Amino acid sequence: MTLLLGIDCGGTNTKFLLAREADGEWSTLRRDHFPTPQHPQALSEITTHVKEFVGPDEPDAFGFAVPGIIDECGGVIACSNVRWLEGTAPADAISAALGAPGVVVNDGAATARAEVVLGAARGHADVFVLSLGTGIAGAHVVDGEIRRGAHGAAGEIGHVSLGGDRLCSCGQHGCLETFVGGTQLGQRWGALTGAPAGSATARDLIEAAVAGDARAVAILDEATTALARSVLDLVAIVDPRIIVVGGGVAQAWTQILEPTIAKARGAATFHHVPPIVPARLGMWGAAWGTILAAHSAAGLEPSPA
């Protein structure tokens, strides 16, 4: 039996997942989440939380997901939605506190790995996994292997440009993330409703749309048009067999994904629009993915008989 800890440091929440692996079967021991701290001592606050969460248990290894680009030594190169992570090597402090080895992985890649091994993409050879959360992450998985690109930066579908003036967290204007990223949806709704800065969320917007607020409906209509456009462009370039969609914003499947899929299918010409299905691991996908990565990196996988 092996004990693994997954930490998913997202733009809004940080999630902890303690899992047990025995004979290739995985089970959840416990899990928790709390708002991601956004101050200079955030990493030590997270380390303290980790110690409390783990308690007397002793994980054999852990994984740490970040919504950004990571170098080969686990250093965070770019992380626009959690700025304090930039220039840190977040596994080091936690590894020292836990006395266990850790790996740092991109959240999109982690979510993809989890969906491929344990979730909705299981058994498919060519998968694009899209995470619609605070920001947007993606990963292309072929034959079980995540295509990270030449510099570990592939899959950044949140930062393809759809035009318009809105500034994105990445420094460009008009990225997909400015249309359908959770932070931007919440900010736009807050600006329209006069909510105190930072208090309105994408969930508020979606609830208002469900209640019939025309302004909210218009924002979602623009968001799903943009997402449909990006799905078609992705299909043109990558041509995946299946697209799996997870993340907090995708929880509103009826409001976000159903219209997106209808618009993409309606606008397709030469495209093979593949099945577009919800991620099975929900908001825990990236945490599960870090656990799988840690398990693999620590050499804990059973050797072939």
If phi over 0 gives left and psi between -120 and 50 gives alpha, with beta otherwise, what is residue 174?
Answer: left
Of the candidates 267, 278, 282, 296, which one interacts with its own copies according to CB under 8 A? 267
Query: Helices in 99-213 by DSSP H: which ranges?
Result: 107-117, 176-180, 182-193, 202-210
Among 233, 265, 282, 300, the residue binding its own copies under the rule CB under 8 A is 233
- Single out the residue of 13, 37, 60, 142 in contact with its own copies (rule: CB under 8 A): 142
Instruction: Please give the structure tokens belonging to residue 117.
Output: 């091994």
Among 20, 33, 49, 147, binds its own copies (CB under 8 A): 147
Q: Is 272 exposed, middle or buried (0-12, 13-18, 19+ CB in 10 A)?
A: exposed
Count of residues binding its own copies (CB under 8 A)? 44
Structure tokens at 183: 């932070």
The residue from 80, 106, 178, 187 that contacts its own copies (CB under 8 A) is: 80
1 near its own copies, rule: CB under 8 A: no
For its own copies, which stretch binds (CB under 8 A), given 18-26, 47-55, 164-172, 244-252?
A: 164-172
Sign of the dihedral through C-alpha 111, 113, 115, 118 = negative
Cα-based distances in Å from 4 to 107, 241, 288, 293: 17, 31, 9, 10
The answer to whether 167 contacts its own copies (rule: CB under 8 A) is no
Nearer to its own copies, 175 or 283 (CB): 175
SS3 295: helix
Binding residues for its own copies (CB under 8 A) = 69, 78, 80, 125-126, 138, 140, 142, 147-157, 159-163, 170-172, 229, 232-241, 267, 269-272, 274
